[in-house]
Amino acid sequence: MKTNFRALLLASSTVLAFSGTAFALDGNDLLKKINESYKTQGAGLTADAVETNGSTVVFKGAAFSATTVGEQKFPLGDITFEDVEENNGGYHVGTAKFDDINFTEKQTTITVTDMYMKGVTIPAAANAGSIDGLLFYDEAHSGEVKVKVDGKDVVTLEETTATMNISEDKNEISFDMSATGFQADLSDVKDPASKEALEKLAIKSLAGQMSMEGTWEVASGKVDISDYTLELDDIGSLSLAFGFSGYTLDFIKSMQETVKAQAENPNKEQADQAAGLAMLGLAQQLSFVNAEISFTDDSISKRALDFAAEKQGMTSDQLAQTIKGMAPLMMAQLNLPELQNAVSAAVNAYVDDPKNFTISAAPENPVPFPMIIGAAMGAPNTLPTVLGVTVSAND
C-alpha cells in the first residue's frame, strides 16, 4: 500500500511538472512574435532580459530600433505585459506598461510619462493574408511629453490617446486619435526674417490640440479619414479629410514584402531604387475617392494682411483690393475656367470677412491614381474637372 502511495505521489508530481511546463508563457516567444510584426515596418524591439511570472512578462532594458534610419535605438526602459494569454498561436495582452522615458542626446532631452497600451493582439504569424495576421490594440496612451533644449522647454504635449475597434465581422476597423495640450515655444527663433514675422503676427508660441478619426473597410480597401484637425489658439484650425480605395490586405502584404526586401538588401542605394519602383507600381492599385481641406480663421488672417501690407508699403485695405483684383487674373493664366469664378468669389468673401476657406474634391466615381498622374502631366487644367474640385468661403 505504501509503495502504491509513493508511486501515486511520483506520478502526480510528474503530471504537475509537465502541466506547468506546457502552459507556462514563453516570454521570448512573445518578443519574437512582436518583432515579426514590427519587421515588416522596418523596426524592431530588443531586450536585455525577458522575465516571466505567471501571466506577466517583463522586457528588461528594452529598446526600439528603426532599421530604416541606420539602426538607431531608442531606449524604453522596462516594458511590463500584464494578463498575457496565448491566442491561437499568438498572444493577447491585457495591458502593456512602459517605464517613463528620460532620453538625452547632446543638448536635447525627451521625457515621456504614463505610457501604456490596452487590449493588444499579437498575431501568430505576421502577414497580411488575413486580418488575423496584423497587430492591433484597443487603446494606446501617453501622458506628458516634453522636449527640452539646453534645459528649456521647447515642445510640450499634455496627453495623447489613440483607439482602434474591429467590427464583429472583421470587415471594418475604426480608429481615432487625440493630442491635447500642445505647446511650442518660439521665443528662441534666430532667423531675423522669421523673428520679425512672428513679432508682427503676435505669435510667441503655438498652443492647441489635434484630433483624427477614420475607418478602413478591409474587403474593399477603402480608407476614409473623416477628420484630421489641428487647432492653434489665436491662429485658427486646419482640417483635412480624404478617402482612397485599393488599400487591401494584398496591397499591405506587397508593401510589407517591399519593406522587408529593402531592409535585407545590403546595397542601400540599390535597395532604395527597387523599393521606389515597387511603391510606384503599388500606387497604381489605389484610387482617389475624395478630399477636403478647410481653414477656419481665429484672427491670424487680419494680422497677416496687416503685416504683408506693411512690407509692401500699403494699407490693409489697399492690399485687400489688390488681392481681389489679382485673383481672376491669376486663374485666367492657369486656364481653369471651371474654377475661375468660384475662386474669385471665395477670395473676395474671405478677404472682406475672414471666417473659413474650403477646397473640396469629390468626383462622381473613384479616380485611379495613374489617371490623376496622367492628367497632371499631360493636361493639368483638366484636373479640377477630373477630381470634381470646388472652392468656397464663409460657408
**Total Cβ atoms within 10 A of residue 70:** 8
- Answer whether 386's CB lies under 8 Å from 375's CB: yes
Q: Which tens digit of pLDDT belongs to each residue from 331-376?
A: 888 888 778 889 999 999 999 999 999 999 999 999 999 899 888 8
What is the predicted pLDDT for the residue at 208? 95
Q: In this structure, is the dihedral angle defined by the CA atoms of residues 192, 196, 197 and 203, taken in order, positive or negative?
A: positive
Q: Which tens digit of pLDDT belongs to each residue from 185-215?
A: 988 888 888 888 999 899 989 999 999 999 9
**What's the distance, CA 115 to chain centroid?**
17
With cut-offs at 50, 70 and 90, classify the pLDDT of residue 275: confident
Cell output for 150: 539646453
Rounded to an integer, what distance in angstroms lies between the CA atom of residue 395 and that of residue 387?
A: 21
Cell output for 50: 525577458
Q: What is the chain's alpha carbon radius of gyration, rounded to the nearest angstrom?
A: 28
Q: Which tens digit of pLDDT belongs to each residue from 116-152?
A: 999 999 988 876 567 888 889 999 999 999 999 988 8
**What's the distance, CA 217 to chain centroid?**
18
The residue behind cell 501604456 is: 116
Q: Where are the domains of the chain?
A: 25-157, 187-247+286-395
Q: Which tens digit of pLDDT belongs to each residue from 277-292?
A: 888 888 889 999 999 9
Rounded to an integer, what distance in angstroms lies between the CA atom of residue 251 and that of residue 230?
A: 30
Asked whether the predicted pLDDT for residue 250 surpasses 60, the reply is yes
What is the predicted pLDDT for the residue at 211? 97
- Answer whether 352's CB lies under 8 Å from 317's CB: no
**Total Cβ atoms within 10 A of residue 79:** 23
Long-range own/partner contacts, residues 159-165 (CB < 8 A, 24 or more apart): 163/138, 163/139, 164/136, 164/137, 164/138, 164/139, 165/138
Cell output for 16: 504537475
Q: Give the start-end residues of each E strand in 132-221.
A: 139-142, 145-149, 152-157, 159-166, 172-185, 205-217
Rounded to an integer, what distance in angstroms lies between the CA atom of residue 355 and that of residue 295?
A: 8
Mean pLDDT of 84-88: 90
Cell output for 119: 487590449
* Closest C-alpha to 225, from 214, 211, 210: 214
What is the predicted pLDDT for the residue at 340? 87
Three-class DSSP category at 277: helix
Three-class DSSP category at 76: strand
Angle at 320 between CA 314 and CA 324, to 5 degrees: 130
Asked whether the predicted pLDDT for residue 11 surpasses 70, the reply is no
Mean pLDDT, the chain, integer:
87
Rounded to an integer, what distance in angstroms lies between the CA atom of residue 293 and that of residue 151?
A: 37
Q: Is 281 exposed, middle or buried (0-12, 13-18, 19+ CB in 10 A)?
A: exposed
Kindly give the pairing relationship between strand 139-142 and strand 101-105: unpaired
What is the predicted pLDDT for the residue at 266? 81
